[in-house]
Structure 1
């Protein structure tokens, strides 16, 4: 059963415009379906965050934040799947699984709790039979070397802080759907 509702706006169309830079992935592509390994375990997926690489960001960048958001979740507020903050400027790629891999050295970066209530990457899990959902993976280049946040900050609070410190943003928007 497809849920009948309007298409949600892209979240970054609602924020102040910032320049873009290059974001690529060996695992996900713009507008293309994600592999089930990037889906949540509750749907039979492996809950593995995708590999991401970024470049050509502003020279004055001091750190990064990586996020994954589903604007199509039937919640009225979307769904945050991953919020990784305080990624040092020298880190310009994340391997597959970095969102949950114990022992991955991310230079002091940490994940705040996602909308599953867990810290780290939480994979795609749209309602079965719903239209394809967009998963907006974004890397935000920041003008500060760290955001003054703790791991128990909410994704909305991180987003509020990002609005005031984002120099540029790079985005990949794959999709995911669970057929009935």
Structure 2
């Protein structure tokens, strides 16, 4: 699988509008080469450079297998009409929370997982819960990393 964003190059700077310094909206993501047998997709976005350890920015699952992209500014609701569900980030709210590093340049990993099932999880689901639910169901994965530092 391959995951990209039209908003930033892999390893490049994430534009301000996708951060706490801008509109705090999710960036556009697109993917290809989803493995045969995939029933749904899941997404985790996190920052391994946070001072207190990994900071989770986004948790989503049951992304339709027919989808090949998430448009920018995914609504911050626990369930969307297409079946996509979103859990709770480390900002303690549902949906995407953009980069907001306290200092320095941080890396933000967007990780997409192809699953052989759909998941029945609640809006209070965290990254840890999602990872546990995905165990033994991952058919493939891809990631794209962007960076951000505050001015």
Q: What is the TM-score of this pair, normalised by structure 2?
A: 0.92
Q: Is the counterpart of residue 135 in structure 1 residue 108 in structure 2?
A: yes
TM-fit CA distance, 1:85: 1.0
In the other structure, the counterpart of 1:12 is: none
| Alignment equivalent of 1:100, drawn from 58, 64, 76 | 76
| Alignment equivalent of 2:37, drawn from 60, 80, 84 | 60
Equivalent runs, 1:61-80 vs 2, <5 Å: 61-76=38-53, 78-80=54-56
In the other structure, the counterpart of 2:121 is: 149
TM-fit CA distance, 1:28: 2.2
Cα deviation 1:1-31 (Å, max 9, x = unaligned)? xxxxxxxxxxxxxxxxxxxx11121112211
Matched pairs, number = 151
| Alignment equivalent of 2:26, drawn from 18, 25, 49 | 49
Check conservation: 1:83, 1:112, Cα contact below 8 A.
yes
Which structure 1 segments of 5+ residues have no match?
Answer: 1-20
Check conservation: 1:98, 1:104, Cα contact below 8 A.
no
Equivalent runs, 1:4-43 vs 2, <5 Å: 21-40=1-20
Q: What is the TM-score of this pair, normalised by structure 1?
A: 0.78
CA-atom RMSD in angstroms: 1.8
Q: Distance in 1 between matches of 2:64 and 2:119?
A: 11
In the other structure, the counterpart of 1:83 is: 59
TM-fit CA distance, 1:159: 1.5
Indicate the structure with greater strand content. 2
In the other structure, the counterpart of 1:170 is: 142
Q: Distance in 1 between matches of 2:108 and 2:139?
A: 22
Is the radius of gyration larger for structure 1 or structure 2? 1
In the other structure, the counterpart of 1:125 is: 100
Check conservation: 2:47, 2:56, Cα contact below 8 A.
yes
